[in-house]
Structure 1
Amino acid sequence: MNNIILAGTALLILLSALLAENIISRKRRARLKFVVQVNGTRGKSETVRLIHGALKANGFRVLGKTTGTVPLWITPEGKHVEIIRHGPANIQEQFLALRKSRRDKCDALVVECMAIKPEMQLASGRILDADITVITNTFPDHIEEIGSTEEETASVLSLSIAPGKACIVGSVSPEAYEKVRKTCEKIETKLIVAATSTEYLSGFKFIPHDENLSITIKAAELLGLDRSLAIEGMKEVLPDVGTFRYLKLGGKMGNAILANAFAANDLHSTSLLLEKVMRDFPEKEIIGFFNSRDDRPDRAAIFETMIRSFDRTIVKGPLPRRILNSKNVEKLDDPSQLDSLLDGSELVFGFGNIRGLVNWLNGLEEI
């Protein structure tokens, strides 16, 4: 009997906590002038960054959240800050975004929809109650949870659309569009198609996909933003921290260069990037810099051949002992101390994983 009472009390406490969180989150949402949720199969993170830039340039104090290469907060100042997770991705992060927007005194929020399963898509839509829900595209992905066709994918993604608001769709098939249209009609939400245009592709710090650019222009119009300011703000947006780029290591390292291939993740893609680096800098000595995930040291085995292929490989994070004891491997705990291991003329090829390196990479200048 005591166990039943205790279980009932625990359940009551849990339900009360959830109810309180829901009430508080609604109040936080009500404080925000604009909330935009970006959904779709591809291009979500880039679209979040572009919409963030458009709002920021129009004088809004806006918080962004992406979950692409690495989960990131985009601060009201436009900086990228890694989100430290203590477990797998969870829909509760949408509540966290509302909480952080209040703490950071924001009046706008742009977040990537991180949900996959239908019930989580619906939950994300209800939590955020977004003024605009973007569906960038409906290419089949996560087939077991969502479906194997664009039409099935569109049906699931449409669950995230807030009633009585607006939805912008990008590249979708006629069948997928019809699914989204029927959902919007049922919940009395305005549906807009973003026409693709390359009109504004010059002057950016990276080359955005014209589809994502068109979606952002349409979102700016719906939000009543100044078009010219929005475009200028988009041009100031930083590329994804995981984008392959050559970066200046700077400081005491003279002409040392970092090839940022940390986000490639798989051996095949990483090998192709290494071949590109060797073609681009045939005269440079290439040193490997392998970043091993603290929670997945076993993944180092995938890159073992590549780790051993360099004359020197600098390693951050845990490694199996057989690799760590290799003659060419050197340990490094803090990437900012890389200069102590270089003479300033090398090219450092960074690979493995990007986790834990975001702040360091953001401080490096692109070549």
Structure 2
Amino acid sequence: MTIFLLFFISFYCYVLWILFDNFKFRKQRDKIQWRIHINGIRGKSTVTRYTTAVFREAGYHTFGKTTGSAARIIRPNGEDYDFKRKGYANVNEQVKILKSFCRQKAQAVVLECMAVNPVYAKWLEEKVMRSHIGIITNVRYDHPDYMGETLEEIAESLSKTIPQKGIVITSETEAKLLNILWRNAKKKNSLLIVANKHQVKPEDMEGFSHFAHEENVSIGYEIAKILKLPIDRALTAMKSAVADPGAFNIEYIQFNRYTLAWANLFAINDRESFIEVCLKLFKQLSSYKKVVLLNNRHDRPTRVELFASIARDLKFERVITLGDYETAVNKIFALERSKIINLGYSTKFKNASAVELLNQIVSGIDNDKVVIVGAVNIHTIQAEELLHFFAEQAKVDVRSQTDLSSTNSTEVTINV
């Protein structure tokens, strides 16, 4: 009987502590003047950085957190640092982060939604953030196992983070998808604002440290309008924001007789966004031969056929297979077999160095300018070799800027 009584008292005290802690958390959270929750398929991390920068420029003591290629905390001075996780990513970390920002007297907090599963996304919005502004960058086909098999189902899933009696901003333009967002915003008594990329002038896109997109910048403009911040100041703030580690940038190196333009698109997982970026890239680098690296991971079979078909439709002049699933890729290019060079795990190049891989990638190309596009997945042995190689060349560039032309890209010479 005594043991049972002790258990009951302990359990009762634990429940009281949970309730008190939750009450205290909500009271602290609600003191934050602006809470912004960012969801969508593409561009979430970049928009998180832009939004944080605009709030900072408007005079708010602002904190941000991204969960894209790397989880980063953005400080009120604009600097960021790596958020060191203990173990796997867990949505509960958002509670701890928000508590930390509260202790530091945050006036504005911008968090990228870290949940793919719409059940967890709904919990993050309704129980953790209770945001004033919800941002849904766009609706694209990705994560069908969690979000749905159609774009309409994915739009419904993303709608779970629309705030109650708040504002939701999107740069999505597809009418049927906008209708879903509008309907869900209306249910929650929220105002839907559609950011128009055409309000972003061509000259506005100059000066970014990364490959910027008008759609993302237009969302920043809508935030500026809400805060009554002049657009020119908002644009300057966005340009000054530290680029996300996964942000797309073109890096140039000299490799033997070739000028290589390296375009890391490993993080883009949907057809529409990948094609859009590639077309912009090809227009900018019209004199370059086009090479794609199809980097397939064994645990991501659904992307194999999708990206091989994209590579075929974009008419890449050379297709390199890395990692797994070479047979599946070769089958899709059965009528254009001469375009394929297999360097994946079934070949002797499984553990090749970046230099050995690059020698094979450019071998025999009859143009001294080559753009190499990394596609499908980031993490394989071979992709990581190449990423490390280009990252090291970027460090070399920092030490020798005075010898380079006045571009924002990397250009170094490597003798092999």
In structure 2, C-alpha distance between the alignment counterparts of 1:104 and 1:304, rounded to whole Å: 54
| Cα shift at 1:309 | 2.8
The residue aligned with 2:183 is: 182
What percentage of residue pairs aligned between the two structures are identical?
27
Aligned length: 288
Consecutive unaligned residues in structure 1, runs of 5 or more: 248-258, 271-300, 313-347
Compute the displacement of 1:9 (Å): 5.9
Q: Distance in 1 between matches of 2:31 and 2:346?
A: 47
The question of 1:87 aligning with 2:131 is answered: no
What is the aligned partner in structure 1 of residue 109 from structure 2? 109
Change (3 A) 1:12 1:157: farther
Q: Is contact 1:39-1:157 (8 Å) kept?
A: yes
Rounded Cα–Cα distance in structure 1 between residues aligned with 2:152 and 2:7: 43
Offset of residue 129 of structure 1? 1.2
Matches within 5 A, 1:170-249: 170-197=171-198, 198-199=200-201, 200-243=204-247
The residue that corresponds to 1:169 in the other structure is: 170
Take 2:193 and 2:137, find their aligned partners in 1: how far apart are those partners?
A: 12
Q: State the distance in 2 between where 1:44 and 1:302 align.
A: 36
Q: Which residue of 1 aligns with 2:368?
A: none
Change (3 A) 1:76 1:5: same
Quote the Cα distance in structure 2 between the aligned partners of 1:98 and 1:245.
Answer: 35
Paired residues of 1:261 and 1:349 also in contact (CA < 8 A): no
1:49 matched to which residue of 2?
A: 49
**Aligned residue in 2 for 1:273:** none
Please give the secondary structure, in 1, of the residue aligned with 2:147: coil
1:91 and 1:37 map into 2 onto residues whose CA distance is 14
C-alpha contact 2:42 2:268 (8 A) present in aligned 1? no
C-alpha deviation, 1:74, in angstroms: 1.0
Rounded to whole Å, the distance in 1 between the matches of 2:156 and 2:43 is 19
1:260, 1:349 within 8 Å by CA — same for their partners in 2?
no
- Alpha-carbon distance in structure 2 between the residues aligned to 1:108 and 1:307: 47
Q: Distance in 1 between matches of 2:218 and 2:265?
A: 29
Q: 8 Å contact 2:68–2:246 — kept in the other structure?
A: no
Q: Structure 2, unaligned stretches of length 5 or more?
A: 253-261, 270-292, 297-344, 357-384, 402-408, 411-416
Instruction: Identify the range of structure 1 (188-197 vs 201-210) with the bigger mean alpha-carbon deviation.
Output: 201-210
Residue 94 of structure 1 and its aligned partner are, at CA, apart by 2.1
CA distance in 2, matches of 1:302, 1:4: 62
* Alignment map for 1:309-348 (pairs within 5 Å): 309=353
| Shift in Å, 1:305 | 4.3
| Distance in 1 between residues matched to 2:217 and 2:241, nearest whole Å | 12
- In the alignment, the residues of structure 2 paired with residue 2 and residue 148 of structure 1 have an alpha-carbon distance, to the nearest angstrom, of 55
Aligned to 1:120: 120
Deviations 1:90-135 (A, max 9, x none): 2212212321212333211111011122221211112111111000
1:240 counterpart letter in structure 2: D
Name the SS of the counterpart of 2:197 in structure 1: coil
Cα distance in 1 for residues equivalent to 2:241 and 2:346: 34
In structure 1, what residue type is equivalent to 2:235?
A: I
Q: Distance in 1 between matches of 2:348 and 2:36?
A: 42
Contact 2:37 2:110 in 1 (8 A): yes
Sort the Cα spacing of 1:91 and 1:3 in 2 relative to 1 into closer, same or farther, 3 A.
Answer: farther
CA contact (8 A) 1:263 1:351 kept: no
1:291-306 equivalence runs, <5 A: 305=349
Q: For residues 164 and 123 of structure 1, what CA distance do their matches in structure 2 show?
A: 17
> What is the TM-score with the length of structure 1 in the denominator?
0.67
Which amino acid letter does the alignment assign opposite residue 177 of structure 1?
L
Change (3 A) 1:350 1:94: same
Task: Calculate the aligned-residue CA RMSD, in Å.
Answer: 3.8
Q: CA deviation at 1:268?
A: 4.3
Higher mean alpha-carbon deviation, 129-138 vs 85-94, is at 85-94
Aligned to 2:388: 351
Q: Partners in 2 of 1:148 and 1:81 — Cα distance?
A: 36
Deviation at 1:158, TM superposition (A): 1.0
Q: Distance in 2 between matches of 1:15 and 1:116?
A: 30
The offset of 1:236, in angstroms, is 0.5
How far apart are the structure 2 equivalents of 1:350 and 1:69?
A: 13
| Paired position in structure 2 for 1:141 | 142
User: Residues 108, 209 of structure 1: CA spacing in aligned structure 2 closer, same or farther, 3 A cutoff?
Assistant: same
- CA separation in 1, counterparts of 2:213 and 2:84? 28
Residues 186/205 of structure 1: CA separation in 2 closer, same or farther (3 Å cut): same
CA offsets, 1:7-38, max 9 Å, x none? 76665455434423322222222221111111
The alignment partner of 2:159 has SS state of helix
Counterpart amino acid of residue 138 in structure 2: N
Counterpart Cα distance in 2 of 1:103 and 1:302: 53
Residue aligning to 1:327? none
8 Å CA contact 2:172, 2:178 repeated in 1: no
Change (3 A) 1:113 1:11: farther
TM-score (normalised: structure 2)? 0.60
**Shift, 1:142, TM fit:** 1.6
